[in-house]
């Protein structure tokens, strides 16, 4: 299913006592879209609602130990090299295997690791040799629903996530410190969002 920000905004304004941003005193499309992006980013960090399979972003280079993770990356589920699964490890475990040359010893990659090498970077051990270079990794990972959201974005998201976003968006908007602030409405919408959040977490599992 698709989540249309145009439709979401159209449905949200009447609940904010407006027909569109033209007669919404305290909010506009960009503000509500920014709120939505923050909400979806937090949801993605907690619930495994968005899983991506990437086979093009990371291509091995001879002698290169670490690589930038794919766009919208949150955390890794599996990594495959030439169809075979690589084993997850910590940097400490890899150092125990090859304390002096774990970032220089070349061969066919067997392990992947991500800690202590910078944010959103994937390390391989052994480091790809000439025979392993030029191979695109198959990376299956939890991803953000929306790293960059605009008022016209269309996202691939379940209907339940649309309902969650609508409730969470109302909770955020009515909690703003302005003359339209309605804490009872904000709290009610927040409780609805929390119920959907818990259902989604039970169904999809936790993201990290």
Token digits for 151?
Answer: 């008022």
- Give yes or no for a contact between 145 and 51, defined as CB atoms under 8 angstroms apart: no
Q: Can you give the pLDDT at residue 157?
A: 81
Q: Can you give the pLDDT at residue 203?
A: 85
CB atoms within 10 A of CB 17: 12
Instruction: Encode pLDDT of 60-107 as tens digits.
Output: 999 999 999 998 898 899 999 999 999 999 999 999 999 889 999 999
Q: Can you give the pLDDT at residue 205?
A: 84
Share of the chain above pLDDT 90, in %: 75
Q: Can you give the pLDDT at residue 208?
A: 64
Q: Dihedral of the CA atoms 25, 27, 28, 34 (nearest 10)? A: 170
88 φ, ψ (degrees, to nearest 5): -75, 145
Instruction: Encode pLDDT of 116-155 as tens digits.
Output: 999 999 999 999 999 999 999 999 999 888 778 899 999 8
For residue 184, with 0-12 CB atoms within 10 Å meaning exposed, 13-18 middle and 19 or more buried, which class applies?
A: exposed
Q: Can you give the pLDDT at residue 182?
A: 92
Residues with Cβ within 8 Å of residue 105, at least 6 apart in sequence: 98, 125, 126, 127
- The mean pLDDT of the chain is 92
Helix axes 5-12, 159-173, angle to 10 degrees: 50
CB atoms within 10 A of CB 205: 11
Q: Can you give the pLDDT at residue 122?
A: 97
3-class DSSP state of 180: coil
Q: Can you give the pLDDT at residue 78?
A: 96
């Amino acid at each position: 299913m698709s989540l249309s920000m145009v439709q979401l905004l159209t449905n949200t304004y009447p609940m904010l006592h407006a027909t569109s941003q033209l007669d919404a005193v305290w909010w506009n499309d960009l503000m509500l879209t920014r709120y939505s992006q923050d909400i979806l980013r937090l949801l993605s960090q907690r619930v495994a609602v968005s899983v991506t399979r990437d086979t093009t972003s990371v291509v091995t280079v001879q002698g290169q130990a670490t690589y930038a993770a794919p766009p919208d990356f949150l955390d890794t589920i599996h990594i495959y090299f030439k169809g075979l699964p690589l084993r997850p490890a910590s940097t400490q475990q890899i150092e125990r295997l090859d304390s002096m040359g774990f970032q220089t010893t070349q061969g066919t990659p067997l392990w992947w690791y991500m800690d202590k090498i910078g944010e959103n970077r994937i390390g391989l051990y052994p480091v790809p040799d000439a025979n392993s270079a030029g191979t695109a990794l198959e990376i299956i990972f939890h991803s953000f629903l929306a790293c960059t959201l605009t008022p016209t974005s269309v996202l691939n998201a379940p209907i339940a996530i649309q309902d969650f976003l609508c409730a969470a968006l109302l909770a955020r908007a009515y909690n703003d410190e302005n003359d339209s602030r309605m804490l009872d409405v904000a709290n009610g919408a927040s409780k609805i969002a929390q119920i959907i959040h818990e259902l989604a977490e039970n169904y999809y599992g936790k993201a990290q």
